[in-house]
Amino acid sequence: MSQPEKYDLVVLGSGEGDMFIAWSLGSQGKRSAVVERRYVGGSYPNIACLPSKIVIQSAKVVSYFHRGGEFGITTGAWKVEMPAVRDRKRKMVDGLIASHLEKYRQNNAELVMLEGRFVGPKTIEVVATDPVMSFRLQSCIVM
């Protein structure tokens, strides 16, 4: 493997704090990179809290419709279209991912969508399926 690429900051994982520090240093002219194997922005906006809150909000609205009489509302026949609920969630997730990718671009921070692992002090090896494509990133700050 060749010499590691040098960065001011390399972050393993792209959660909220990880992205913000990379964007902040990148906007200051520092060379920063975030290594993420799967979810841009981490699990929070992709599969955890935010998507579940979208579905929970839809369930709350359904509950209000179901209990319309308690609120003095007469409702007719209605039904839940789960594909529409799913599409609303996907639209929110896609919008957040697009926003995050734009922030990387605006702030001159790199996003490396591969698996990474620590292999030494302040050194992360980025592993691709093809070993020829694997490389190392070295930084004065590694998170």
- Distance between CA atoms of residues 69 and 132, nearest Å: 66
Walk me through the domains of the chain, giving residue ranges and CATH numbers. 5-142 (3.50.50.60)
Strand ranges of the sheet holding 32-35, from the earlier edge strand across to the other edge: 109-112, 32-35, 5-12, 135-142, 123-127, 115-120
Query: Mean pLDDT across the stretch 74-94?
Result: 90
Per the prediction, the chain carries an average pLDDT of 87
Query: Mean pLDDT across the stretch 124-128?
Result: 84
Query: Mean pLDDT across the stretch 2-8?
Result: 83
* pLDDT score for 140: 64
| Angle between helices 16-27 and 82-106 in degrees, nearest 10 | 30
- Distance between CA atoms of residues 4 and 85, nearest Å: 46
* pLDDT score for 48: 87
CA dihedral of residues 134, 138, 142, 143 (deg, nearest 10)? -10
Say whether pLDDT at 75 is over 80: no
